[in-house]
């Protein structure tokens, strides 16, 4: 297919849409390469709006890794807003990349990174706008390989009919291996067509190709088995794990957005993986083992990134950043280095038991002192044992006392509703905890100007976690439980006005639960929702629960299953789960034992600091935990002379 720019057709449409800047490209550090000089061409998508997609680290890293290869080209595309979609359809403008405005259909690979399943309708919309057949079975050699990655790829079954392949795990090395396979196949003259290329990818053992697997069902709707339908295709597909993060210091040239985005900062991933063992946390389970970036590696990335971008804030990212073995040295070293430049530092939400005032002061030394965010997750001590979040109420009160006593006035607490075995009383304990936080804040600060915001999300059981067997709480009970909590907080005359309360209703969580633990039959629902106008389901103003439920009822009319079967039903040990043939390294027996420990309210330590608990990841994936301390210091890059003296 010709790869001419569609910009001449697009440009007249820009004055007619909201935020036209998101479609023009040309960001600082973006890359446009010669089309004809490339042997393999990737279109990379984060299936959400530009403002959410551009800062995404995963896409940004792969964009740079691929473009560093001389004969490889990678460009980016994002979901277009409904106003732009309408005009594109009217004027026959296909889904395009923002870098060179080339049609997505012209690329060899259309790679989509899913961090949430609520982007599935945006995938279908992008395929349709691109002119790529929705069903993988209908595609020809002229269509790109539709490949997905990200956390949702650990159960790609609900979109198995729409994708050609899925990569499970870290993407840096995987995309280069896939590129090598495609390059060789094209150089040989494309022998065997599309089917042969997909077969070559499948036999590597690290790429899942749904068309090479058949799913058989029992009469009651459960899966009987998932089996390869072709010789040479592996029974299980393994996840990719990048070891030694210092060898992968990406992004080196972070993209600087033209329009306002959700994160206005430069970010450095300081370690990958987490072994805290929170039972609800899919990200922590599927990214094991822990691999720390060295203190010097972090320092070099920050220095290069700031020079390349001009950002004034650095985010130190990971699943639990305060757990880095040298986080104190990292924060102090960076704060010292950038004192004169007023470069601020930030962490994602901090574990209560990892917080200390020295760290907090270093993080805010050059930036503004904003609120602190902590995530106890469970309202009662009992619930925190169930989910293995080893934080006591005393820990929390002690930590917030330290914060309020040192000048902070705002603390945000994040909880979940609908966790396994949870009762109304467990959730109402959140109000009691918030009141104690306010009381302690007033006591240590001597001020009544103290705020605590309680933010609550609905729990969704995820694949490859101990809670993958758990029943999900139905939307009606979730809403009733949260209403009771809200009433208790508002009724309190002494503390109620100092407690902010934010929560999401239970309906989006049910749809997310349907998609996260669904099988191939759910694909019919996704298509029906999209055909009925479903887009941007992660945005409350675009989400329609009724549309999903009506589509599900129609799509599953001839099946022995329904939405409740996928969401609020508890699974047994012997049930074949839709994702069992995708190997995250976690031993299924270990996950089941941890599920039983949850029901018995038994806590498990972090294996970083204790003997191995045999979760299976290290021996299975031939990996190991990589942590410091290195003993190195983050020295200033140069010594600044006092004024009036020569160098």
Q: Tokens in use for 544?
A: 């329609």
How many whole angstroms separate alpha carbon 12 and alpha carbon 479?
46
Highest mean pLDDT among 349-353, 364-368, 489-493: 489-493
Look at residue 412 in the predicted model and tell me its pLDDT.
Answer: 93
Tell me how far apart the alpha carbons of residues 505 and 456 are, in angstroms, rounded to a whole number: 10
Q: Catalogue the E-assigned strands of 115-169.
A: 145-149, 165-167
Reported confidence tier of residue 637, pLDDT bands at 50, 70, 90: low
- Tens digit of pLDDT for each residue in 304-333? 999 999 999 999 999 999 899 999 999 999
Written as six digits, the tokens of 643 are: 């004024």
Contacts of 513 (CB under 8 A, 6+ apart): 460, 461, 472, 566, 567
CA distance 51 to 56: 10
User: Does the bond joining 629 to the residue before it have cis omega, within 30 degrees of 0?
Assistant: yes
Q: In this predicted model, what pLDDT tens digit does every residue of 240-282 receive, in sequence order?
A: 999 999 999 999 999 999 988 988 899 999 999 999 999 999 9
What does each C-alpha distance from 438 to 165, 352, 399, 435, 577 come to in angstroms? 51, 16, 13, 5, 45
Among 124-133, 393-402, 433-442, 529-538, the range scoring the smallest mean pLDDT is 393-402
Say if residue 289 is preceded by a cis peptide, omega within 30 of 0.
Answer: yes
Contact in structure between 271 and 324 (CB atoms under 8 Å)? yes
- For 329-338, 451-460, 481-490, 633-642, which range has the lowest pLDDT when averaged over its residues? 633-642
pLDDT digits (tens, 9 = 90+) for 59-70: 999 999 999 999
Instruction: Name the 3-class secondary structure at 516.
Output: helix
pLDDT in the model for residue 646: 44
Q: What is the mean pLDDT of residues 282-307?
A: 96
Question: Which residue(s) pair with 413 in the sheet?
Answer: 374, 454
Give the C-alpha separation, 212 to 195, whole Å.
10
In 524-594, where do the E strands start and end?
Answer: 582-583
Confidence check: pLDDT of 368 > 80: no
Tell me how far apart the alpha carbons of residues 205 and 188 are, in angstroms, rounded to a whole number.
Answer: 22
Identify the residue whose tokens are 């349709």. 128
pLDDT at position 1 is 56
CA-CA-CA-CA torsion sign (44, 48, 50, 55):
negative
C-alpha to C-alpha distance for 200 and 4, rounded to whole angstroms: 30
pLDDT at 375 over 80: yes
What does the pLDDT look like over 587-611, one tens digit per residue? Answer: 999 999 999 999 999 999 999 988 8
Contact 152, 117 (CB under 8 A): yes
Average pLDDT, the chain: 94
pLDDT of residue 647: 38
Q: How far apart are CA 78 and CA 23, in angstroms?
A: 9
Query: Please, what is the angle between helix 172-187 and helix 57-67, to 10°?
Result: 40
State CA 538 to chain mean position distance.
Answer: 13
**pLDDT digits 0-9 by tens, 384-439:** 999 999 889 999 999 988 888 888 888 999 999 999 999 999 999 999 999 999 99
Q: How far is CA 360 from the centre of its chain?
A: 25
Choose between 639 and 479: higher pLDDT: 479
The number of residues in the chain equals: 647
| pLDDT tens-place string over residues 199-219 | 999 999 999 999 999 999 999
Question: Which of the four pLDDT bands, split at 50, 70 and 90, describes residue 468?
Answer: very high
Q: CA nearest 421: which of 518, 562, 285, 279? A: 279
Taking alpha carbons only, the member of 604, 192, 157 closest to residue 384 is 604
Output the pLDDT for position 638. Answer: 59
The H or E element containing residue 272 is strand 271-272
Q: Which residues pair with 164 in a beta bridge?
A: none
Dihedral sign for Cα atoms in the order 416, 275, 594, 563? positive
Rounded to whole angstroms, the Cα distance separating 34 from 40 reads: 12
SS3 194: helix
Band of the pLDDT at 2, cuts 50, 70, 90?
low
**DSSP tag of 141:** T
Q: Distance between CA atoms of 315 and 270, rounded to whole angstroms?
A: 9
């Amino acid at each position: 297919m010709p790869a001419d720019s569609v910009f001449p057709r697009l440009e007249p449409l820009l004055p007619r849409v909201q935020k036209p800047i998101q479609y023009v490209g040309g960001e600082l550090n973006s890359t446009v390469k010669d089309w004809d000089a490339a042997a393999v061409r990737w279109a990379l998508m984060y299936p959400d709006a530009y403002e959410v997609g551009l800062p995404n680290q995963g896409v940004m890293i792969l964009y740079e890794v691929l473009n560093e290869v001389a004969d490889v080209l990678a460009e980016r595309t994002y979901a277009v807003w409904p106003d732009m979609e309408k005009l594109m359809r009217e004027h026959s403008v296909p889904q395009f990349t923002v870098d060179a405005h080339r049609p997505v259909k012209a690329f060899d690979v259309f790679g989509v990174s899913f961090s949430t399943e609520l982007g599935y309708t945006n995938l279908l919309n992008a395929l349709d706008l691109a002119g790529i057949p929705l069903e993988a079975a209908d595609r020809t050699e002229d269509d790109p390989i539709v490949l997905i990655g990200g956390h949702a790829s650990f159960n790609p079954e609900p979109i198995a009919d729409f994708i050609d392949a899925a990569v499970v795990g870290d993407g840096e090395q995987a995309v280069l291996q896939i590129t090598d396979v495609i390059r060789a196949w094209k150089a040989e003259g494309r022998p065997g067509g599309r089917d042969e290329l997909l077969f070559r990818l499948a036999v590597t053992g690290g790429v899942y190709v749904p068309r090479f697997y058949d799913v058989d069902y029992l009469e009651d709707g459960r899966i009987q088995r998932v089996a390869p339908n072709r010789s040479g295709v592996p029974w299980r597909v393994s996840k990719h794990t990048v070891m030694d993060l210092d060898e992968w210091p990406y992004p080196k040239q972070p993209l600087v957005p033209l329009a306002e985005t959700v994160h206005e900062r430069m970010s450095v991933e300081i370690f990958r993986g987490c072994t805290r063992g929170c039972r609800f946390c899919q990200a922590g389970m599927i990214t094991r083992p822990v691999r720390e970036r060295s203190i010097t590696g972090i320092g070099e990335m920050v220095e290069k990134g700031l020079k390349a971008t001009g950002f004034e804030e650095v985010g130190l990212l990971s699943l639990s950043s305060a757990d880095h073995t040298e986080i104190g040295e990292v924060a102090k070293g960076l704060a010292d280095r950038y004192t004169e430049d007023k470069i601020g530092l930030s962490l994602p939400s901090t574990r209560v038991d990892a917080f200390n005032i020295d760290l907090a002061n270093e993080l805010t030394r050059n930036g503004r002192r904003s609120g602190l965010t902590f995530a106890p997750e469970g309202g009662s001590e009992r619930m925190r044992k169930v989910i293995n979040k080893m934080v006591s109420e005393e820990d929390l009160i002690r930590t917030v006392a330290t914060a309020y006593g040192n000048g902070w006035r705002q603390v945000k607490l994040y909880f979940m509703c609908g966790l396994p075995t949870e009762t109304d009383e467990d959730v109402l304990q959140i109000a009691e905890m918030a009141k104690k936080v306010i009381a302690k804040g007033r006591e240590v600060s001597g001020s009544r100007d103290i705020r605590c915001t309680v933010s609550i999300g609905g729990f969704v059981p995820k694949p490859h976690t101990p809670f993958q067997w758990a029943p999900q709480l139905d939307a009606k009970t979730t809403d009733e439980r949260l209403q009771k909590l809200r009433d208790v907080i508002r009724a309190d005359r002494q503390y109620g006005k100092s407690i902010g309360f934010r929560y999401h209703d239970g309906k989006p969580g049910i749809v997310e639960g349907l998609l996260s633990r669904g099988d191939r039959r759910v694909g019919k629902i996704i298509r029906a929702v999209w055909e009925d106008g479903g887009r941007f389901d992660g945005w409350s103003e675009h989400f329609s629960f009724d549309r999903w439920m009506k589509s599900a009822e129609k799509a599953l009319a001839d099946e022995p299953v329904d939405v409740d079967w996928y969401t609020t039903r508890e699974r047994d040990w012997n049930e074949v789960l839709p994702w069992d043939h995708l190997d995250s390294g976690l031993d299924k027996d270990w996950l089941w034992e941890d599920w039983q420990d949850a029901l018995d309210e038994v806590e498990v330590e972090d294996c970083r600091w204790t003997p191995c608990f045999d979760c299976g990841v290290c021996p299975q994936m031939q990996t190991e935990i990589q942590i410091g301390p290195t003993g190195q210091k983050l020295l200033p890059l140069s010594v600044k002379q006092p004024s009036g003296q020569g160098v």
